Amino acid sequence: MLTDKQKESFHTNGYLVVEDVFDQETILEPVRKEYENLLDELVDGWISEGKIAASIKKEDFYTKLMHCYEAGCDWFQPMDISLPGDEISENTPMHFGPAVFKLLTADRLLDIVEDLIGPEITSNPIQHVRLKPPAKRLHQDEVRPHIGNTAWHQDRGVAHDEADATDMVTVWCAVNDATVSNGCLQVIPKKTEQSLLPHCPQRQTTIADGFLEQSNAIPLPVKSGGILILHPLTPHASLDNMTNKFRWSFDIRFNKTGQPTGRSHFPEFIARSKADPGQVLTDWKAWKKSWEEARKKLSTQSHIPIHRWTSDAPFCA
Q: Residues 111-137: pLDDT tens digits?
A: 999 999 999 999 999 999 999 999 999
* pLDDT tens by residue, 68-104: 999 999 999 999 999 999 999 999 999 999 999 999 9
For the segment 281-308, the average pLDDT, to the nearest whole number, is 96
Q: Is the pLDDT score of 235 beyond 90?
A: yes
Q: Note whether 186 and 133 are within 8 A (CB).
A: no
d(CA 253, CA 227): 12
Dihedral sign of CA atoms 160, 165, 167, 171 in order = positive
Q: Average pLDDT of 295-300?
A: 97
Q: Is the pLDDT of residue 317 over 80?
A: no
CATH number at residue 49: 2.60.120.620
pLDDT at 276 over 90: yes
Residue type, 283: D
| Cα–Cα distance, 317 to 311 (Å, whole number) | 7
Q: Which domain holds residue 120?
A: 4-316
* Res 30: pLDDT: 98
Q: Is the pLDDT of residue 191 over 90?
A: no
The pTM of the whole model exceeds 0.85: yes
pLDDT band at 152 (very low <50, low <70, confident <90, very high): very high
Looking at the DSSP bridge assignments, the partners of residue 178 are: 222
- Structural element, H or E, at residue 7: helix 4-13
> Helix and strand tally (H, E) in the chain?
7, 11
| CA–CA separation, 126 and 122 (whole Å) | 12
Question: Which segments within the chain are labelled E, that is strand?
Answer: 15-18, 121-132, 168-174, 185-187, 199-201, 205-207, 218-220, 227-230, 236-238, 247-256, 269-272
Q: How high does pLDDT run on average in the chain?
A: 95
Q: For 31, which DSSP code?
A: H
Cα distance between residue 145 and residue 264, in whole Å:
22
Question: Any bridge partners for residue 207, and if so which?
Answer: 199
C-alpha to C-alpha distance for 85 and 207, rounded to whole angstroms: 18
How many domains does the structure of the chain reveal?
A: 1
Reply yes or no on whether the pLDDT at 301 is more than 80: yes
Give the pLDDT score at 40. Answer: 97
Contact status, residue 184 vs residue 221, Cβ threshold 8 Å: yes
Decide if pLDDT at 51 tops 80: yes
| Residue 203: per-residue pLDDT | 81
Residue 311 has pLDDT above 90, yes or no: no
The percentage of residues in the chain with a pLDDT greater than 70, rounded to a whole number, is 100
- According to DSSP, the residues that pair with 121 across neighbouring strands are 256, 272
Q: Per DSSP, what are the bridge partners of residue 15?
A: 230
